[in-house]
Amino acid sequence: MKAINNQMYNELADAWWDENGKLHLLKVMVNPWRVPYFAEALHKHFGLDLVRLRLLDIGCGGGVLAEEFARLGCRVTGIDLAERSLEAARAHADKGNLSIDYRLGAAENLEFDSSSFEVVSCCDVLEHIRDWRKVIAEASRVIKPGGLFFFDTINRTTRSQAAFIDGLQENPLTKLFPPGAHVWEMFITPEELSQAIEAHGMQLEGMSGSVMTGNPWSILWEVLRHKLGRTTVAELGRSLALKHAPDFSLNYLGYARKAGYS
């Protein structure tokens, strides 16, 4: 199996909040799909007032998702292994007057007591970690009984090989990410993820798939326009923003509830 390149989150740490940074795609292309979904789940389970909720964002990177949870009112802690991404996250939160506790830490060994958080999110992270089942076990341990686990990840299919590996990493005409940004064998099927979630005392409450805005030709056109320098990463991401669809062959998301009552 090829090596995963998680060092890129130190090397590209300036790219999270830069309209031309590759990691900004998570904000402009993925957030419009996942943030309203998670916000609805939070309100459904905890009511309208989220200010007392302690939320841990595992693998928070530059904070593009953590900030959204903080804006919803949650008390957010973010952990990541990339120190430079954490610096970018702290600097951006300071600028926006958001109080988020960003800490260096490994997803597989969380330095928090059991039942410390009402909510744990782990988004676009599991497919970057070899022992992702350990991350699920740790997430479940630190969630309070009755609390929620949020995830999004990428399915292991022929389509994800074509899109994420051949298209976005290897084809010189269309590649946007360095080698090893994703490793196909590390992608996770919905069945594998559901089984691990249930094996660690959580009950799956919902899952949703995705499609990119546009058709295959318009998507290719937008990527080529960007590669020719006609559009920024932000413009590219907005034009392709993910939408909910019953298609689980690429990105999918969902949430689970830990058994018990708080």
Ligand X SMILES: C[S@@+](CC[C@H](N)C(=O)[O-])C[C@H]1O[C@@H](n2cnc3c(N)ncnc32)[C@H](O)[C@@H]1O
Binding positions for ligand X, rule: CB under 6 A: 6, 9, 26, 59-61, 64-65, 80-82, 85, 106-108, 123-125, 128-129
CB of 43 to ligand X, least distance (A): 21
CB of 65 to ligand X, least distance (A): 4
Nearer to ligand X, 40 or 215 (CB): 40
CB of 113 to ligand X, least distance (A): 18
DSSP E strand stretches across 19-141? 54-58, 75-80, 101-104, 117-123
Nearer to ligand X, 106 or 211 (CB): 106
CB of 13 to ligand X, least distance (A): 9
CA–CA gap between residue 190 and residue 156 (Å, rounded): 9
Nearer to ligand X, 185 or 218 (CB): 185
Q: What angle do CA 132, 115, 151 make, to 5 degrees?
A: 35
Q: Is 157 in contact with 166 (CB distance < 8 Å)?
A: no
CB of 73 to ligand X, least distance (A): 19
Nearer to ligand X, 9 or 149 (CB): 9
CA–CA gap between residue 171 and residue 55 (Å, rounded): 39
List C-alpha distances in Å: 102 to 80, 155, 175: 8, 29, 31
Nearer to ligand X, 87 or 225 (CB): 87
* Tokens found for residue 93: 């939160």
